[in-house]
Amino acid sequence: MPYTPYHFGPGLFLGVVLFPYIDFSTVMVASVILDIEPATILMLQLPFQFHGFFHTYLGATIIACILSVAFYPLRRHLNKLVSLFGLHQESSFRHIFFASIIGTYFHVFLDSLLYGEMHPFYPLVGNPFLGTLSITVVYSSCIYLGLLGIGVFALRILYRYHQQNKVELESDVFSAF
């Protein structure tokens, strides 16, 4: 992890900053989906490491491909859901795929900063990222990225509202002629 809710912070930030280029709902799911692995191991009390194969870039790539194929047929429904939050989006397979890759890879990177049992470049053994940042910095960064994401989201909504009102005002002014 950092515990799954922390992954939503960077996912939200990346989703709103890269909104025109990646699928928002996919990056949000992709940023947390890898934690199904440790949750399953924990719940079923399996004798495996919490951060195993799917917490590698190879495993994350496989999950990203599966997620992309699964989300592509659902894109219209997911885009309607995102529209409820004031963000209109038309997604292509490319947008969904890049969102899947970005979300899962960022998850692996964050976790590899904290967990020694990870081997992010499997089949190579080792974790070159371990200990480069303290746990406090990693968790704080996740929180701050989430707050920044909320800020960018709010700015995006305000800009869209302003643009809509500007068009309505211009059409009202010209309708008088």
Express each pLDDT in 54-83 by its tens digit: 999 999 999 999 999 999 999 999 989 888
CA distance linking residue 51 with residue 163, whole number of Å: 46
CA distance linking residue 23 with residue 20, whole number of Å: 8
* List of the chain residues with pLDDT < 70: 1-3, 167-177
What's this model's pTM, rounded to 2 decimal places?
0.87
Task: Please state whether 91 falls in left (phi above 0), alpha (psi between -120 and 50) or beta.
Answer: beta
Query: Do 51 and 110 touch, CB atoms closer than 8 A?
Result: no
The pLDDT score that the predictor gives to residue 155 is: 92
CA distance linking residue 31 with residue 109, whole number of Å: 11
- The first and second tokens of residue 107, run together, are 């998850």
Query: Do 51 and 70 touch, CB atoms closer than 8 A?
Result: no
The torsion angle over the Cα atoms of residues 22, 141, 59 and 100, rounded to 10 degrees, is -10
Determine the structural domain holding residue 13 and report its residue range: 4-175
Residues in the chain: 177
CA distance linking residue 147 with residue 37, whole number of Å: 27
How many Å from the N-terminal Cα to the C-terminal Cα in the chain? Answer: 62
Q: Can you give the three-state secondary structure of 39-61, one letter per residue?
A: HHHHHHCCCCCCCCHHHCHHHHH
**C-alpha radius of gyration, the chain, whole number:** 19
The pLDDT score that the predictor gives to residue 1 is: 45
The number of distinct structural domains making up the chain is: 1
CA distance linking residue 9 with residue 50, whole number of Å: 22
